[in-house]
Amino acid sequence: MENTVETVKPSMTTKSETSSFSTFYGTKLPAAVSFDYTWTEYPDTDAMVAAKAELTLEEQLKVVNTDRQIAARAAALTIAQKNAGLVKPTAENNDQVRLKELYKNLQTAKVNGVRKYTDAEAREVASTVSGVAWVD
């Protein structure tokens, strides 16, 4: 992970990192997608107190800076996924998600309080009805 630091104003520092992801909602991607993200953090407890962002001095510094980093990374991850043309798979746009949802519904089907299908039968019926083969 690459790390850069730049001072924004006397009381804040901007930091940047590079991260990547290689799966998207359980699906392995052909290649990892790299993205950069930045956040601002307090350099010390004095700057944090001056900004009136207190919990306890040492704990607050760690919590606030971690929260900023996590928020920046999450926002950059969403943008990187969008820029890579990735869309969250749903039953409307992904055959495997649709197949899994049908399978779950068949697993819960009951007749007189008894399951209508075993797991193997539900799996086979879901594939036959949907016309989609399982990709394990």
> Looking at residue 52, what is its pLDDT?
85
**CA torsion, points 124, 126, 131, 136, in degrees to nearest 10?**
-70
The first and second tokens of residue 118, run together, are 């075993």
Our CA angle for 119, 125, 128, nearest 5°, is 145
Task: For residue 131, give the 3-state DSSP assignment.
Answer: coil
> Looking at residue 126, what is its pLDDT?
95
How many C-alpha atoms does 15 have within 13 Å on its Cβ side?
Answer: 17
Closest CA to 21 of 71, 67, 86: 86
> Looking at residue 60, what is its pLDDT?
87
pTM above 0.75, yes or no: no
> Looking at residue 7, what is its pLDDT?
52
> Looking at residue 30, what is its pLDDT?
93
User: Which residues pair with residue 127 across a beta bridge?
Assistant: none
| Amino acid type, 126 | A
> Looking at residue 6, what is its pLDDT?
58
Please report, in tens digits, the pLDDT of each residue of the chain (136 residues total).
556 655 555 688 999 999 999 999 888 899 999 999 999 999 998 888 888 888 888 998 999 999 999 999 999 999 999 999 999 999 999 999 999 999 999 999 999 889 999 999 999 999 999 999 999 7
> Looking at residue 2, what is its pLDDT?
58
